[in-house]
Amino acid sequence: RVQDQGFKRCRALIVLPSRSNAYKSVTSLCELTVPPTDSAEKSQIVNKKRFEESFGSVEEEDDEETRRKKPDDYWEVFSGNTDDDFLLGVQMGRRTVRLFSSYYSSDVIIGSPVGIRRHIES
């Protein structure tokens, strides 16, 4: 097992404004960390269904008239799930990414400023 020479594993905090941004970031992180394989050792993402339900996109009506009222960059920023109160722990292994892990055992914590503050206050 190869590990850095430090005494503890590295931890990271990623602060994002909304759940849709977190969804994109975690999806990219999972694609980079757990490549799809055809071997007997299947790589896996634990709690992926729960993540999709909590952070997946919200159904929006695409009315052409309302779309013209706002510029394109508005729709890019505010599309998808715009909830700004979340905190997600991600634990990474060799071929496994565990979503919704305990914050103290997580390698990466992804959260919004509101979610981080609420967790610290409790």
- Render pLDDT for 36-45 as a digit per residue (tens, 0 to 9): 665 555 668 9
CA distance 56 to 53: 6
Number of neighbours of residue 91 by Cβ within 10 angstroms: 17
| pLDDT of 25 above 80 | yes
What pTM does this model have? Answer: 0.79
pLDDT at position 5 is 62
Sheet harboring 87-92: ordered strands across? 12-15, 108-111, 87-92, 96-99, 44-46
pLDDT at position 21 is 92
- Structure-token pair, residue 40: 């007997």
pLDDT at position 43 is 63
User: In whole numbers, what is the pLDDT of the chain averaged over residues?
Assistant: 84
